[in-house]
Amino acid sequence: MLSSSRLSWKWTACLCFLTLLCCLFTPALTVKENDFKKCTQSGFCKRNRAYADNAATQGSSWEPPYKILPEQASFKDGQLQAPILKTTDAQGTTVRLPVTVSFLKSGTARVTVDEEQRKEKNIELRHNSIARKERYNEAEKWAIVGGLDVDTNAKVSSESKSGINIKYGPGFIFEADIKYSPFSIEFKRDGVAQIKLNDRGLLNVEHWRPKVDKPAPEKKEGEDGEESEEEPEAAEATPSEDQSTWWEETFGGNTDSKPRGPESVALDITFFGYEHVYGIPEHTGPLSLKETRGGDGNYKEPYRLYNSDVFEYILDSPMTLYGAIPFMQAQRKDSTVGVFWLNGAETWVDITKAKEHKNPLALGIGSKTNTHTHWISESGVMDVFVFLGPTPRDVTKNYAELTGTTAMPQEFAIGYHQCRWNYVSDDDVKEVDRKMDRYHIPYDVIWLDIEYLDDKKYFTWEPNMFSDPISMGEQLDSHGRKLVVIIDPHIKNTKYPVSEELKSKGLAVKNKEGNIFEGWCWPGSSHWVDCFNPEAIKWWTTLFDYDKFKGTLKNTFIWNDMNEPSVFNGPEVTMPKDNLHHDNWEHRDVHNINGMTFHNATFEALLSRKKGELRRPFVLTRSFYAGSQRLGAMWTGDNQATWEYLAAATPMILAQGISGFPFAGADVGGFFGNPEPELQSRWFQAGAFYPFFRGHAHIDARRREPYLVPEPHRSIITAALRLRYSLLPAWYTAFYHANQDGSPILRPLYWTHPSEEAGFDIDDEFFVGSTGLLVKPVVEQEKTTADIYIPDDEVYYDYFTYEKLPTSKGKHLTVQAPLETIPVLMRGGHIIPRRDVPRRSAQLMQYDDYTLVIAVSKNGNAEGELYVDDGDTFEYENGQYIHRSFKLAGSSLTSTDAEGRDVKSIKEGDWLKRMSDVAVDKIIIVGAPSSLAGKSEVQLEVEGEKTPVRVDYHKAEGGKAAYAVLGRVGAKIGADWKIDFA
């Protein structure tokens, strides 16, 4: 029998769940901000902000209590090691915090601070907790895949009682100036200070201390004869310290037992002379991050990183969202640096900017802006990586060396995805599929949201509506299409094999007592698979085998949602922080990494669905962390069908790109609500330039498949989709670059033009990979023009009309953008590969011929690349790919292997064999050289043999550039060839 308190708890949970459901069906206007903590409601954030305020108030008399004793520091083999001593009281008591500063071969520096007593597990936990005693130090295990080799050549350039100076990096141009008392590190490049750790003395490691329980309050008789209680003095604390949240914290009715007490780590990081900082997604504000300590136009709250299922999130806010990447880049003219704060716990980042006046008599003149940041995490070791650039590309590359790069995608995954919550039956799916064809609308993937499940039990099918998933999958497959089905991490707490195995094998997340954790999500009462546990990953991978997950086929792929994890009745809609994961790490320590571990398990599962079948997984995730880029794509969660959310998507996707996870998109059309046709058209036009391009809608939203939208919108949407499909070769090549060196797929202007300060805060236009395509989606209602900032002196052409545009560097160009037009420019100097035959899906285009579009630079040159492989397997790792470099120099156009390989010596597998018939069929030369005027043919030269190619030359007129079309070129895509225009 249930005890009455348990019974009433159940009722409360039930009511909560029902209330939540009601909320889902009657959308409120905005997120319930009060459901999520502000800094003042998060004990450690509040304490560290107060610490910062106290330091600021004291000004130059502030004495940071962290120091190294020179005799205890040693530098050897590229690493400095020492205990940092933290003075904890007026008597000079200290705690030891071992610090390691490592200089890595890549030129990156790493600073790690731990706590000795906890390393030695020499602490006591409260409440008989079985949690780990150490500070969490396994974030590295999940996030880092390489780049940790220490550079033993790093050398001491000077040393004294006050500190040590280390030279390191390429050509020893980097320098770390480590000061002992107070402890700080200034990083320099070419002798110029770039970044300083603990510049403002805000380093704070809340060391472990026992809770000294207050003696029972003494009872005293008051004047009125009533008994009153007197508060005794608190245990070990300086008077200014606020202890109220040290030992327990309650928020929204949930109490966190905090068995280790206060344990935050915090550090201030100054970027000297840098006015712009970017990164630390996921947030909704501008790409160039705002200040967070109030003031005009600034935020009042720090940026928060605490992966959360935020219902109807708000715009322009530092509030946390579903994913977290604690990586920040700073930009000033001709210089980029960055930091990566490797910590999986709840984290807040304050940003302020201050003018530094070199000459106090000349205010503003010669002054530069420093950006001050303050990083605050609830627990774990402190682990900071410092990148000194000097270019955005260098910083991106160094970060990618550590956390890995975007996985080469399944080629279909960069086509268009058609989703809604929900397609109601297998017949419905088939009908949508047929209609897309009937209306000649290309798409690659159709998605099933949670209603396909039997009673929300993952790995099952609703038996009445999805009685024949196989025939559904087969119909899709017959024209190269795929199915994505949703699988979330919460497993229904009921009798069914998946749930029973999860329990019997002990693979679920546990509560603070070490019993299986139970909470609420879509299925009602649920348990959560603990993918930190290697055994859980192993088990999870077995569930996806084709013969286990019946109804799935080779063309079934997976969507992981709710993996923050979302727990409807949990604190801040997630798990209690004192829950326990594998090896008894507290959820508090790993919260932000949790989503990635689930994504990882599903990725692994798709890799091993069938013995001998090794294909690239496709898994979409909502929650993510640094490193998630290795596993698939993300989207920006539950946006709304309004113009504001359309506009907000671009900076969000750009932020993902420069934070190492560029395979990103936003729900096209908006998740909540019903977009009017104009909004839907504009959203498809923008979405055609999202790396991940998916239309999605809430269960209450009206059906809005592209063919349902009235004309002229249907045609406008179809044209946007066709544009995407024709450019797939360019997109795939951009993914290849992301895969090679982490470069963003959508590139903001600071990244492409780091010398042009006027572009540093522009986040509504971008370049696509290295194609030179400059895109500015229209995101305002009834807007028919676009003002595009031009970052250089190169020539720019309109992508569609070949008009040569009257651009000039640093100026905005106004282009016409009526509803049917997407503002897309071609920067001179680039060659863009395309496939121009419209087809139903990417797979059906696989062996189509190519078109090359050459946008000739003002100097008459152009360059471009094409990377292509089978788009499905890992055969590219065995050389089964084509990688061409196209060059127009003077009057000759050449195609050569981009890596200088002798392509003839490559043993051709099936795919390469089939590709040997694929050719460059058409070449369009925009800004065509005058040598082509009057010519009717040119010669294609392959291995000394020449064949004529027809030329159709159009002279410049009416604003259009001269252009030429070479038809039926027949130059094999994988072979070397040359065409002379002279």
Beta 977-980 vs 664-665: how paired, if at all? unpaired
Q: Residue 90: count other Cβ atoms within 10 Å of its Cβ.
A: 7
> For residues 719-730, b (16+ Cβ closer than 10 Å) or e, as one string?
bbbbbbbbbbbb
Whole-number minimum distance, CB 693 to ligand NOJ, in Å?
15
Q: Which active-site residues does the annotation give?
A: 561, 564, 638
Whole-number minimum distance, CB 261 to ligand NOJ, in Å?
35
Q: Rule CB under 6 A: which of 695-714 touch ligand NOJ?
A: 696
Q: Which residue has the tokens 């020893």?
A: 172
Q: Which is nearer to ligand NOJ, 669 or 791 (CB)?
A: 669
Q: Which is nearer to ligand NOJ, 423 or 625 (CB)?
A: 423
Beta 265-271 vs 368-377: how paired, if at all? antiparallel
Q: Rule CB under 6 A: which of 483-542 touch ligand NOJ?
A: 486
- Distance, CA of 751 to chain centre: 16
SS3 content of the chain, % helix, strand, coil (to 5): 25, 30, 45
Q: Rule CB under 6 A: which of 668-687 touch ligand NOJ?
A: 671
Q: Residues in contact with ligand NOJ, total (CB under 6 A)?
A: 10
Hey, which residues does 354 pair with through a beta bridge? 370
622 forms part of the interface with ligand NOJ (CB under 6 A): yes
Contact flags string 415-444 toward ligand NOJ, x per CB under 6 A = ------x-----------------------
Hey, which residues does 754 pair with through a beta bridge? none
> What is the DSSP-derived secondary structure letter of residue 539?
H
Whole-number minimum distance, CB 322 to ligand NOJ, in Å?
8
Whole-number minimum distance, CB 443 to ligand NOJ, in Å?
18
Burial class (CB in 10 A: 0-12, 13-18, 19+), 224: exposed
Euclidean distance between CA atoms 944 and 894, whole angstroms = 13
Residue 476, helix vs strand vs coil: helix
Whole-number minimum distance, CB 633 to ligand NOJ, in Å?
13
Q: Residue 464: count other Cβ atoms within 10 Å of its Cβ.
A: 8
**Lookup: tokens for 707:** 């063919």
Euclidean distance between CA atoms 646 and 686, whole angstroms = 8
450 forms part of the interface with ligand NOJ (CB under 6 A): yes
Residue 574, helix vs strand vs coil: coil
Q: Which residue has the tokens 């989503």?
A: 595
The answer for residues whose C-beta is within 8 angstroms of residue 831's C-beta and 6 or more apart is 852, 853, 854, 855, 862, 863, 864, 865, 886, 887, 888
Whole-number minimum distance, CB 696 to ligand NOJ, in Å?
6
Whole-number minimum distance, CB 667 to ligand NOJ, in Å?
7
Whole-number minimum distance, CB 423 to ligand NOJ, in Å?
12
Whole-number minimum distance, CB 522 to ligand NOJ, in Å?
7
Whole-number minimum distance, CB 881 to ligand NOJ, in Å?
34
Q: Which is nearer to ligand NOJ, 403 or 636 (CB)?
A: 636
Start-to-end CA distance of the chain, whole Å, equals: 93
450: nearest Cα among 493, 400, 490? 490
> What is the DSSP-derived secondary structure letter of residue 135?
P
Q: Which is nearer to ligand NOJ, 406 or 636 (CB)?
A: 636
Residue 584, helix vs strand vs coil: helix
Whole-number minimum distance, CB 488 to ligand NOJ, in Å?
7
Q: Which is nearer to ligand NOJ, 83 or 565 (CB)?
A: 565
Q: Which is nearer to ligand NOJ, 372 or 490 (CB)?
A: 490
Q: Which is nearer to ligand NOJ, 137 or 639 (CB)?
A: 639
Whole-number minimum distance, CB 420 to ligand NOJ, in Å?
8
Whole-number minimum distance, CB 695 to ligand NOJ, in Å?
12
Euclidean distance between CA atoms 599 and 618, whole angstroms = 10
Q: Which is nearer to ligand NOJ, 696 or 713 (CB)?
A: 696
Q: Rule CB under 6 A: which of 652-671 touch ligand NOJ?
A: 671
Tell me if 694 sits within 8 A of 417, measured CB to CB.
yes
Task: Give the residue ranges of DSSP H helices in 850-923.
Answer: 910-915
User: Helix crossing, 469-477 with 426-438: angle to 10°?
Assistant: 20
> What is the DSSP-derived secondary structure letter of residue 615?
B
In Å, what is the CA distance from 353 to each residue of 374, 459, 494? 12, 51, 54
The residue whose Cβ lies closest to ligand NOJ is 421
Euclidean distance between CA atoms 114 and 112, whole angstroms = 7
743: nearest Cα among 335, 414, 395? 395
Q: Which is nearer to ligand NOJ, 450 or 641 (CB)?
A: 450
Can you tell me which of 449, 604, 849, 921 binds ligand NOJ, judged by CB under 6 A? 449
Strands (E), 463-616: 482-486, 490-492, 519-521, 524-528, 556-560
**Lookup: tokens for 111:** 């600073």
Q: Which is nearer to ligand NOJ, 307 or 379 (CB)?
A: 307
**Lookup: tokens for 535:** 């055994």
Hey, which residues does 94 pair with through a beta bridge? 87
Euclidean distance between CA atoms 154 and 76, whole angstroms = 9
833 forms part of the interface with ligand NOJ (CB under 6 A): no
Q: Which is nearer to ligand NOJ, 491 or 918 (CB)?
A: 491
Euclidean distance between CA atoms 189 and 390, whole angstroms = 8
Tell me if 553 sits within 8 A of 546, measured CB to CB.
yes
Q: Which is nearer to ligand NOJ, 421 or 874 (CB)?
A: 421
> What is the DSSP-derived secondary structure letter of residue 624?
-
Q: Which is nearer to ligand NOJ, 443 or 671 (CB)?
A: 671
Can you tell me which of 350, 638, 798, 865 binds ligand NOJ, judged by CB under 6 A? 638
Residues, the chain = 982
Euclidean distance between CA atoms 515 and 768, whole angstroms = 50
> What is the DSSP-derived secondary structure letter of residue 640?
B
Judged by the rule CB under 6 A, the positions of this chain that interact with ligand NOJ are 421, 449-450, 486, 561, 622, 637-638, 671, 696
